[in-house]
Structure 1
Amino acid sequence: MRKIMSYIGAISATVMLAACGNGAQNTSNKTESESSGTKSEITYAIWDSGQEKGLRKIADKFEEKNKDIKVKIQVVNWDAYWTMLEAGATGGTLPDTFWMHSNEIYRYGSNNMLLGLDDYLAKSKDAKLENFPEGLNKIYNVGGKQYAVPKDYDTIGLWYNKKMFDEAGVAYPDESWDWNKLYEVAKKLTKEDGSQYGFLAPLHNQEGFYNFIYQNDGTVITPDKKSGYDNPKTIQALEYYMRFVKEKLSPEITDDKKRAEVLQNGQVAMALFGSWNLSSFNDNEYIKNNFDIAVLPKGNTGKRVTIFNGLGNAISANTKHKEASWKWVEFLSSKEGQDMQASLGVAISAYKGAATTWVDSNKNFHIKSFIDMVDDAQIRPYSNSTSKWEEKSYELLKPAYLGQKTVEEACNDVAKMMNEELSSEK
Structure 2
Amino acid sequence: MKRRLPILLMVMIIMAVLSACGQGNNTPKSTEEATKAPEATAEETKAPETSGEPVTLTYAMWDANQAKGIRTMADEFEKANPGIKIDIEVTGWSEYWTMLEAGATGGSLPDVFWMHSNEIYRYASNNMLLDLTDRLKNSTKADLSKFPEGLNQIYNFEGKQYAVPKDFDTIGLWYNKTMFDEAKLEYPNENWTWDDLYKAAKALTKDGKYGILTPFHNQEGYYNFVYQNGGTIISADKKSGYDDPKTIEALEYYIKFIRDGLSPEIYDDAARGEAIQNGVAAMGFFGSWNLSGFTANEFMAKNFDVAPLPKKEKQASIFNGLGNAIAFNTKHPEEAWKFVEYLSSKEGQDRQAELGIAISAYEGAADLWVSSNTTFNVQAFVDMVKYAVIRPYSNTTAVWEDKAYEALKPAFTGKQSVEEAAKNAAKIMNESLATEK
Q: Please say whether Structure 1 and Structure 2 have the same fold, judged by a TM-score greater than 0.5.
A: yes
Query: How much has 1:363 moved relative to structure 2?
Result: 0.5
Partner of 2:296: 283
Residue from 91, 108, 111 that aligns with 1:96? 111
Indicate which of 218, 227, 234 corresponds to 1:205.
218
28, 31, 48: which one aligns with 1:26:
31
**Aligned counterparts of 2:317 and 2:108: Cα–Cα separation in 1:** 37
Q: Which residue of 2 aligns with 1:119?
A: 134
Partner of 1:232: 245
Find the counterpart in structure 2 of residue 329 from structure 1: 340
| In structure 2, C-alpha distance between the alignment counterparts of 1:223 and 1:17, rounded to whole Å | 30
**Residue in 1 aligned with 2:350?**
339
Equivalents in 2 of 1:320, 1:261: separation in Å? 42
The DSSP-based 3-state class of the residue aligned with 1:183 is helix
CA contact (8 A) 1:114 1:315 kept: yes
Residue from 224, 227, 241 that aligns with 1:214? 227
Deviation string 1:400-426 (CA, Å, 9 cap, x unpaired) is: 001110000000100000010000003
CA–CA separation in structure 2 for the residues paired with 1:131 and 1:383 = 24
Higher relative contact order (CA 8 A, sep 6+): 1
Note the C-alpha offset of 1:36.
3.8
| Paired AA for residue 26 in structure 1 | T
8 Å contact 1:151–1:312 — kept in the other structure? Answer: yes
- Map 1:6-155 → 2, pairs under 5 A: 16=10, 18-19=12-13, 20-21=16-17, 25-26=30-31, 28-29=33-34, 36-38=50-52, 39-155=54-170
Contact 2:31–2:131 (Cα < 8 Å) also in 1: no
Judge conservation of contact 1:34–1:40 (CA < 8 Å) in 2. no
1:264 aligns with 2:277: yes
Q: TM-score, normalised to structure 1's length?
A: 0.93
- Matched pairs, number: 406
The one-letter amino acid of 1:205's match is N
1:371 is matched with 382
Q: Percent identity?
A: 61
Task: Tell me the TM-score normalised to structure 2 length.
Answer: 0.91
C-alpha contact (below 8 Å) 2:214/2:258 kept by paired residues: yes
AA in 1 matched with 2:104: A
Query: Are the aligned partners of 2:224 and 2:318 in contact in 1 as well (CA < 8 Å)?
Result: yes
Q: 2:180–2:186: 8 Å Cα contact kept in structure 1?
A: yes
Selected match of 1:305 from 297, 312, 316: 316
Q: How has the CA–CA distance of structure 1 residues 55 and 27 changed in structure 2, closer, same or farther, with 3 Å as cutoff? A: farther
- In the TM superposition, residue 34 of structure 1 has moved relative to its aligned partner by 7.2
**Residue 152 of structure 1 contacts residue 310 of structure 1 at CA under 8 Å; is this kept in 2?**
yes
The 1:122/1:50 distance shift into structure 2, 3 A limit, reads same
5+ long unaligned stretches in structure 1: 1-14
- Offset from partner CA, 1:136-158 (integer Å, 9 cap, x none): 11000001110000000000100
Deviations along 1:195-254, one digit per CA (max 9) or x if unpaired, are: 211110000000000000000000001111110000000000000000000011000011
CA shift at 1:275, angstroms?
0.5
Could you tell me which amino acid in structure 2 is paired with residue 18 of structure 1?
A: M
Cα displacement (A) at 1:29: 4.8
| Counterpart Cα distance in 1 of 2:422 and 2:48 | 54
Describe the superposition over 1:274-316 as per-residue Cα deviations: whole angstroms up to 9, x where unpaired: 00110111111111111100011111x1x11000000000000
How much has 1:26 moved relative to structure 2? Answer: 3.0
Q: What is the aligned partner in structure 2 of residue 359 from structure 1?
A: 370
